[in-house]
Structure 1
Amino acid sequence: MRFTTPAIILSLRIHGEHGAIVRMMTPDHGLQAAYVRGARGRRLRPVLMAGNEVEAELSARTEGQLPQATVELLHSRGPLLAEPLPAAAIDWATALTATALPEGQPYPRLHAALDGLLAAVEAAPAASGWGAALVRYELLMLAELGFGLDLDQCVVTGDHDGLVAVSPRSGKAVSAAEAEPYLGQLLPLPTFVREGGTAGWPDIVDGLALTGHFLLRDVISDRSTPVAESRHRLVERLHRAAGLA
């Protein structure tokens, strides 16, 4: 097996004296893990940072063997890691992708969405400029893994208009009239989630509460604690930025 591909660096785990196992997201080959020789060296350390775009050449003698990879930097997002909010967003988005996806299965829509999210974080370091993109990425992640939310019609009446909440149990939308008696028990459904467009702070916070409930329940509930902690750090920083902390 041998192929060359653009890739987004997701995570790095030290392996051996000088190398590391690097997880990366590719457009056509999905999540790939590969051993990178010299990953801890001066040349490659700044290349193998989460969120960076690289060109990777992966090769393995047999199908079951861990591939080896060589990487060349295409685009660095290293400077963003010095900014608390962008760094937290990159940390969470890459950690979620590295943890949630099975290896070797193509998810071209997720690769494109992750690339777009990272570009949005880079273009507008203020979270009000990329918060909606993060919520959409999390919604897409849920859908691609088979946990998509049903936000097209009210679960009770079948109406397509006036949807304001989501059942935390079923992931289905609820209209305003049906939601009113149970507002304290339902998750808010921000308008931008269904209709697109930009979002203000309250809608971004509500959107992250919505996606976070299902991600933590269905996708990373039995995964490593650091992944959940990564999201908790991001949400805390967003709440402070929004003046809600």
Structure 2
Amino acid sequence: MATNYDFEQKLSVSPSIDERAIDHFAERPIGNIKPEPDLEHQALSGALAAARQEAHALVDLANATYADASQPPAAAAIQVATAARKSSERVIARIEAAQAKVDLTITSLERLTFAPLPDAVVGERYDQEIRSSLKALTHDERAKEINDALASADMQLIGAVLRAPRVTTGMKAFELEALRHRFRSQHFPAEMKRLERLRKMRAASDTGAGAFNKLVKQAADTKYAARAIAARDKRESMLAAHQQEA
């Protein structure tokens, strides 16, 4: 006779399902000065903390359920699968909400630091002329003009280049991105550091969510659990039909 042990899933919690994978990238205190609270970091960290707690609870539940010899293996499989799916709904919803919040902030920071704003008086009136002049220069001449503009904070020239499509600048894609990186680092150092932190946290949350989904799949999507659920549903359907006929 089959026992619950025969169908037990050896579940374990991945180390990546842990808020410390997020907290690792948080801004650190400088001396006695603590950083301002980062709501996006807190949201992701809280979501992964909930995932860790739910993951350990699911493993404990599975171990206890399969160890209970007082019920058939099919009932144990259904209980574990049902619990796993409900846990997944709670955890993934919270992770996705936190990720959406982070994605919005990342997009906002990328837009903020993308290029200098047009001059309040001149606007973009001379942008095309500036780009045409730069495009007519040799590579070395153009590089010197851009370096001089960065050194002197000539945002009219830098903005004319960074706000425009690459093909109008005479620059290669990697050159344009290198210029954007230098501009961002020079004029938005704090924002760029935060952007880097958030991107790393976001990637860590993807890893944690993937590991949690894998755990749920191991617990809920076994062939035995699927057969047990199908058999239960069939029995309940037939019973309902019989009761209607009676």
TM-score by length of 1: 0.24
Question: Which structure ranks higher in relative contact order (CA pairs < 8 Å, sequence separation ≥ 6)?
Answer: 2
More helix by share: 2
Which structure's CA Rg is the greater one? 2
